[in-house]
Amino acid sequence: MERTEFFETAVQQGFYGNEKTSLWGKKDNVRRFWEDIFTKLLLRPAVAQLLKEEPRLRVVDLGCGSGEGLDLLRHIPLGASPHEPSQNFLLNWPEIEIYDGVDLSSAMILQGQTNYANRDNAQFPVGDLSQGFPLTDRPPYHLYLSTYASLSHLTFPELEHLLCDIFKHAQEHAYVLIDVYGRWSPEWPVYWSASASKLEPYTMAYLYDQRQLDRESVEWFKVSYWTAAELESAVRRAAEKAGVRVNVSAMKDRSILVGRRS
């Protein structure tokens, strides 16, 4: 499939609107109650630190879909327990100077603009990250964010190139959060012996109601599966090329034993 062909269809079918949580769909319970919480807790110390230094944050979301990263950022729990409903989130609208959501898919961008039509500080430019960082003409961001494996749509060299551009663009103190498919996930042992840097098939058939799914018509596309060591090396090489110092503060595995993708 072409790079964004699957996602154009997913938007048309309503998966990127303001969908409620359920057993199926993009915001199914695995995403809502495990993956989202995990990501928010990973973001919390970085956002808390940035807010000590800056009154308002500039954020870019790489492969933003319809603005899912913005929704995550605005719902980072303050309390000790992430499961307690709370109105007290860490980052609120007044503390967001700009959220720029970049995506290659114009259907995603249009959906993002619709979801945040009343927010001037949420912008959705179209951009192809496989060609490097597209917003070099904009002021540096405090947070370069990418959620739910958008960067696995890039090849190994493309991601390294993108990181190099980002490191050149960022100011001295910025955070970069990269989310990619991990090679060693218990969900796909078939890829454990795959050769590094080769794109391998992936499907998002878990979006559909499994009771009605016609397995023959499931769409597949190719993505990169990374090991932590490969990713860390790419980050370090990109930093060296950009001439900056990076601190890899955390490498986390969000996979669970019984996956929704199996």
Ligand X SMILES: C[S@@+](CC[C@H](N)C(=O)[O-])C[C@H]1O[C@@H](n2cnc3c(N)ncnc32)[C@H](O)[C@@H]1O
Q: Taking contact as CB under 6 A, which single stretch among the options 81-89, 113-121, 125-133, 241-249 is the one that binds ligand X?
A: 125-133
163 secondary structure, DSSP code: H
x-marked contacts with ligand X along 10-49 as a string, rule CB under 6 A = ----------------------------------------
What is the Cα–Cα distance from 210 to 32, expressed in whole angstroms? 18
136 CB burial (10 A radius; 0-12, 13-18, 19+)? exposed
Minimum CB separation of residue 181 from ligand X in Å reads 10
Q: Which is nearer to ligand X, 122 or 129 (CB)?
A: 129
Q: Distance of CA 119 to CAs 3, 113, 115, 124, 250, Å?
A: 29, 9, 9, 11, 32
Minimum CB separation of residue 257 from ligand X in Å reads 22
The tokens for 111 are 């959906």
Work out whether 130 is an interface residue with ligand X (CB under 6 A). Answer: yes
Q: Which residues in 199-258 contact ligand X (CB under 6 A)? A: none
Work out whether 7 is an interface residue with ligand X (CB under 6 A). Answer: yes
Beta strands in 164-207 (DSSP E): 175-177, 181-182, 200-203
Q: Judging by DSSP bridges, how do beta strands 225-226 and 181-182 pair with one another?
A: parallel
Work out whether 178 is an interface residue with ligand X (CB under 6 A). Answer: no
Contact residues: ligand X, CB under 6 A: 3-4, 7, 63-65, 68-69, 103-105, 108, 128-130, 147-150, 153
